[in-house]
Amino acid sequence: MQKRKLGKLEVSSIGLGCMSMSFGYGPPQDKQEMIAVIRGAVERGVTFFDTAQVYGPFTNEELVGEALAPFRGKVVIATKFGFKFEEQNGAWRNVGLDSRPETVKKGVEGSLKRLQLEAIDLFYQHRVDPNVPIEEVAGVVKQLIQQGKVKHFGLSEAAAQTIRRAHAVQPVTALQSEYSLWWKRPEVEVLPTLEELGIGLVPYSPLGKGFLTGKITEETTFSSDDLRSRIPRFTPEARKVNQALVDLLAAIAQRKKATPAQIALAWLLAQKPWIVPIPGTTKLRRAEENIGAAAVELTADDLREIDTASSRITVEGARYPEELERMTYR
């Protein structure tokens, strides 16, 4: 697979988001099956894997650590900090944002152990903590880099001014934010800032939490432990309206002998050479499909057609419940 650079960090042009293997979209998947998916992705050229402390909590880092143990030094593992956890009835629970230096320092030790690493390749602040100045957060990550526990600093869902303030203290390698054909807000201020500062973009949910694959319809039902059951954009009424975007992708895909998912990913790759999407999946055949997007060539005419047609489509519904949306673009 082709490589791309996030700042000075070289990774495969498409990564693998591992969250859904343990968390977010229903019950955790079988661990051995997920290890096989992750290792199968490595065999197919993926070198960039994404996890976080909060996924589980902790169980996703353990899964990724075990799966990638045979490939140390050959892959890049990114994880995220910024939440506080408490043990309740024998299980860990996320109890809110916490990027205080002592929490970050304690958290990195746990992540290193679970990921079976001597140094974390890319350490993102998962969400900006309004109670801790971003300069303080950047400063503690700078210390961790100096101590050899972290190699690169990242932010997630941060606003342009926050990125600038953090970057002035410790250079930011990558910003992880939602970006896709149905969520283009980063184009307004964030992308120009990243380009100016030489920071890479890692779009999560590049397939619209599965919707842009065309596999979700207005009849699809979600379990109560699937976060999409709480997202306004995934109500049956919204899905019916938003199908127009999938229909657009399907029409282009047919012409290109590709799938809607591959067109959605190819569109992202065509935006900037420093964009590396991390579609998530629990199935190796879907990982193979996503990897195949790197070989799909969209011409300038194709891109114009997609942009013109998609600009006429108004996506229905918010991308997050209100309490989660408040945690973004700070």
Active site residues: 55
Burial 244-274 (b: 16+ CB within 10 A, else e): ebbebbeebbeebebbbbbbbbbbbbbbeeb
Planar angle of CA 316, 279, 238, nearest 5 degrees: 15
The contacts of residue 199 (CB under 8 Å, 6+ apart) are 6, 7, 163, 167, 172, 173, 174, 175, 193, 274
Peptide bond into 236 cis (omega under 30): no
CA separation for the pair 48, 170 (Å, rounded): 22
Within 10 angstroms of residue 321's Cβ, the number of other Cβ atoms is 12
CA separation for the pair 151, 141 (Å, rounded): 9
Q: From the centroid of its chain, how far is CA 133?
A: 24
Structure token pair of residue 175: 């910003």
Residue 299 exposure: Cα atoms within 13 Å on the Cβ side: 6
User: Residue 125: beta bridge partners?
Assistant: 81, 155
The contacts of residue 196 (CB under 8 Å, 6+ apart) are none
CA separation for the pair 98, 100 (Å, rounded): 6
Q: Helix or strand or coil: residue 165?
A: helix
